[in-house]
Amino acid sequence: MLPSQKNHEPIQQSVHVDCSLEDAFRLFTDGFAEWWPLALYSITGAKANRCEMEPWRDGRVFERTNEGEEHDWGSVLEWDPPKHLRLSWHPGSRDEGSQTVDVEFTVEAQGTRVTVIHTGWEAHGVGVCSLQRDSLAMWQVALKNYFPVVVWEQMLVIA
């Protein structure tokens, strides 16, 4: 392993929610399909129909396309309601190795803080990055197969 460098440190993001620890954990896991911004982040872009987290240890996290194909994002490695959840994270890749996403739920004033810590992204970052950021990226993927680069670049400029 390399010595720690700023660029390699885990990704950490958190948010406050106005509900109890138990509710926050339940909504995050049981409600995953309903809150995940699938239009922004998915493997299959416009074809993505739904994503799921099976709410138990060893449960799968995956997305399903309109045609019913399933693509794994990862699986539940640790299931400690209502405080902690650990996922393996490798969307779009079979490599189950090095990436993990920890979700921590802690009590704070007026509610719960939900913190996501994404580790190992720098080693096989492609996994998570197969979740495209936006429709522009999806258009690029779709058009790439049909048009020479110059043409779709022009189309994007026009759009």
Where along the sequence are the contacts to another protein (CB under 8 A)? 2, 7-8, 11, 13-20, 22-24, 27-28, 31, 34-37, 40-41, 92-93, 95, 110-112, 114, 116, 118, 121-126, 128-133, 137, 140-141, 149, 153
- Shortest approach of another protein to residue 57 CB, angstroms? 21
Give dist(CA 125, CA 121) in Å, integer.
4
Give dist(CA 43, CA 38) in Å, integer.
9
- Shortest approach of another protein to residue 75 CB, angstroms? 18
Q: 85 and 54 in contact (C-beta within 8 Å)? A: no
Helix (H) or strand (E) holding 26: helix 21-30
CA angle, 30 then 35 then 36, to 5°: 100
- Shortest approach of another protein to residue 58 CB, angstroms? 22
Total Cβ atoms within 10 A of residue 24:
24
Q: 54 and 134 in contact (C-beta within 8 Å)? A: no
Nearer to another protein, 57 or 133 (CB): 133
Nearer to another protein, 10 or 59 (CB): 10
Nearer to another protein, 75 or 120 (CB): 120
- Shortest approach of another protein to residue 40 CB, angstroms? 6
Nearer to another protein, 66 or 115 (CB): 115
